[in-house]
Amino acid sequence: MDAPYARLEVLEPGISRLLAHNPSAFTYYGTQSYLVGINKVAVVDPGPDLPEHLDALEVAIAGRPVIAIMCTHTHRDHSPAARPLAERTGAPIIGCAALALETAGPRADASFDGDYAPDGVLSDGEMLDIDGESITAVATPGHTSNHLCFAYRGALFSGDHVMGWSTTVVFPPDGDMAAYMQSLDKLRQRDDRVYYPAHGPAVTNPQQYVRHLTGHRMQREKQILRLVSNEARPIADIVANAYPGLDPRLVTAAGGSVLAHLLDLERRGLVEQQQGLWKAA
Ligand SMILES: [Zn+2]
């Protein structure tokens, strides 16, 4: 695959990108880590714990002080390199919270990095200083409950909340469709000029793109409501009808997104479930 693995791409002054070699049906060509800053840097989404990716990050950092290693969320393709990179550079891990496994009920799934242990957590609106410029946390729960985007000089590192190649997987119990939609609204009220997602190309028309994503989810919701309106159906049946010709590797993820919609609709009193069958309330 002709993707720029281990090749630093300078996107604009103070922002460069490094692609990790972890391509999959969920990560596109892989996870994109970002170096932010000029004389000092922050690393956004260090990525998977792959020695060649850590080596490439270290070369790109080129001995500059690393003020923080910042994760948007704690899926395994984003945060596992944080600790080894902290050991190599002496930088603190500051960004999203660890997932509250014990206190928040059964929220974990296999894709979570349970070893993630930040030195500092940013809440919505909190910022760090990089050479006199600020990088600011924008809380965007939905894809995961702990998801943050980071804003820097009109650019937004959008993690997996908004991606440049695919819609975002919202997989319950940690993924939450109502929270995701609210987080899309939150971005619509901002005026970022570009998004740099963890997967896929930069989004250069953020407002239009977020409106499109919101419309897509509302269409999906309508379609699901229509499917369960005169017949009680299991999720597998809804997926088969709503996603014709779906890549078999994505059937489970699509089932998760349908469940996320159904749980949201159930909370709003529009559908109900009996023995695994969903129907309009
Ligand atoms: Zn990801």
For residue 101, what pLDDT is reported?
Answer: 60
For residue 106, what pLDDT is reported?
Answer: 52
Ligand 1 center–CA 264 separation, angstroms: 23
Nearest C-alpha neighbor of 152 from the set 230, 30, 36, 13: 36
For residue 57, what pLDDT is reported?
Answer: 98
Nearest C-alpha neighbor of 195 from the set 144, 147, 159, 145: 159
Ligand 1 center–CA 150 separation, angstroms: 15
CB of 91 closer than 8 Å to CB of 67: yes
For residue 34, what pLDDT is reported?
Answer: 98
For residue 130, what pLDDT is reported?
Answer: 97
For residue 41, what pLDDT is reported?
Answer: 98
Q: Which residues contact 41 (CB under 8 A, 6 or more apart)?
A: 35, 61, 64, 65, 66, 67, 130
Ligand 1 center–CA 15 separation, angstroms: 19
Ligand 1 center–CA 51 separation, angstroms: 18
For residue 242, what pLDDT is reported?
Answer: 94
CB of 85 closer than 8 Å to CB of 20: no
For residue 152, what pLDDT is reported?
Answer: 98
| Residue 185, token pair as written in the block | 């609204």
Each residue's pLDDT tens digit, 218-242 = 999 999 999 999 899 999 999 999 9
For residue 32, what pLDDT is reported?
Answer: 97
Which has the minimum average pLDDT: 129-133, 163-167, 234-238?
A: 163-167
For residue 125, what pLDDT is reported?
Answer: 98
Pairing of strands 41-44, 66-70: parallel
Region 193-209: mean pLDDT is 97
DSSP state letters, 23-55: -BTTTBT-PEEEEE-SSSEEEE---S--HHHHH
Whole-model pTM?
A: 0.94
Ligand 1 center–CA 212 separation, angstroms: 21
- CA–CA separation, 233 and 280 (whole Å): 10
- The answer on pLDDT for 217 being more than 60 is yes
Ligand 1 center–CA 226 separation, angstroms: 31
Measured in residues, the chain has a length of: 281
Considering 105-114, 202-211, 243-252, the range whose residues carry the highest mean pLDDT is 202-211
For residue 110, what pLDDT is reported?
Answer: 65
Ligand 1 center–CA 240 separation, angstroms: 25
- The answer on pLDDT for 102 being more than 60 is no
Q: Which residues contact 186 (CB under 8 A, 6 or more apart)?
A: 138, 140
For residue 114, what pLDDT is reported?
Answer: 87
Each residue's pLDDT tens digit, 27-85 = 899 999 999 999 999 999 999 999 999 999 999 999 999 999 999 999 999 999 999 99
Region 113-130: mean pLDDT is 96
